[in-house]
Amino acid sequence: MKKPKLLVAGYGSWAKAHANPAEAIALAMGARHWETCDVIGIGIPVDSTAITGEIDRLLDLHAPDAWIGVGVSSAAIIQAEMVGVNWRDFDVPDVNGQTIKATPIAAQGLAAYNATLPNAEIVEAIKQAGIPAALSFYAGTHLCNQMLYTSARLIEQRGAATLNGFIHVPSTPENVLEFASAGSSKSSMPLSLSSSALVQCIEVTAGYIARHRQRNCA
């Protein structure tokens, strides 16, 4: 049976993380050897205008069985996001210096999309590995939410069976130290732990895909 193909897309540098752990984790996942799946690790610019075209291009280029977005948050734990909403509203600028107020992501789009990754199973596996994690039902209204909503919408438009979701990781201690004077979050997690959480996410998702394939072939 063909291995599941998973695409891990991590956001790059932005105003609150010059060295974004999300991108570092995504690239590390792509460089890692996997027995049960193939993993593509991609860095994504924090660009609200270009993100739709970039996701569209990557879905066409790689045709993954699962899209796993990764971004940094102010929380102290790993969060598996359950819902992406059709709103952009942020005053922390993207890489182009753009801020946006109360604007839909897609003018004619649905109000929200549910993630389709096996998030409950993912969170339980991460916790069993000794890493704090939880389900989250609000991904904010910055680009993390925009990636979750947009990838779900593009997958639906294709009529694809691609699983979709987004994982928030805490900032690193290094980023907290860098931005401490600006009053940013003081919550952090070592990159090694956040990376281990994504390993669990990938292994659970690959297993979930394999089980569903077996059922469909039975």
We report the CATH number of the domain holding residue 41 as 3.40.630.20
**Which residue in 16, 14, 45 sits closest to 178, CA to CA?**
16
Residue 1 has pLDDT above 90, yes or no: no
The one catalytic residue in 81, 124, 201, 217 is 81
pLDDT given for residue 101 in this prediction: 98
Residues 187, 180: Cα–Cα separation, whole Å:
11
DSSP state of 36: S
Residue 25 has pLDDT above 90, yes or no: yes
In Å, what is the CA distance from 60 to each residue of 43, 52, 55, 66, 145?
17, 12, 9, 13, 21
In Å, what is the CA distance from 217 to each residue of 47, 64, 211, 214?
41, 20, 10, 5
* 3-state DSSP assignment of residue 81: strand
61-118 pLDDT, tens digit per residue, is: 999 999 999 999 999 999 999 999 999 999 999 999 999 999 999 999 999 999 999 9
137-165 pLDDT, tens digit per residue, is: 999 999 999 999 999 999 999 999 999 99
Instruction: Name the residue range of residue 194's domain.
Output: 5-217
14-24 pLDDT, tens digit per residue, is: 888 789 999 99
**Is the Cβ–Cβ distance between 64 and 40 less than 8 Å?**
yes
In Å, what is the CA distance from 44 to each residue of 47, 130, 160, 206, 212?
8, 29, 22, 22, 29
Q: What percent of the chain has pLDDT over 90?
A: 85
Instruction: Please report which confidence band the pLDDT of residue 185 belongs to, taking 50, 70 and 90 as the band edges.
Output: low
Is 168 labeled as catalytic in the residue annotation?
Answer: yes
The one catalytic residue in 23, 37, 168, 201 is 168
Strand partners, 67: 7, 164
The one catalytic residue in 144, 156, 174, 212 is 144
Residue 134 has pLDDT above 70, yes or no: yes
**Residue 215: other Cβ atoms inside 10 A:** 8
Residue 180 has pLDDT above 70, yes or no: no
In Å, what is the CA distance from 184 to each residue of 7, 73, 74, 177, 179?
30, 11, 8, 10, 6
Total domains present in the chain: 1
Residue 184 has pLDDT above 60, yes or no: no
Place of tokens 């359950």: 82
Strands 78-81 and 66-73: unpaired
Note every long-range contact of 177-184, with CB atoms under 8 Å and residues 24 or more positions apart, other chains counting: 178/18, 179/16, 184/16, 184/74
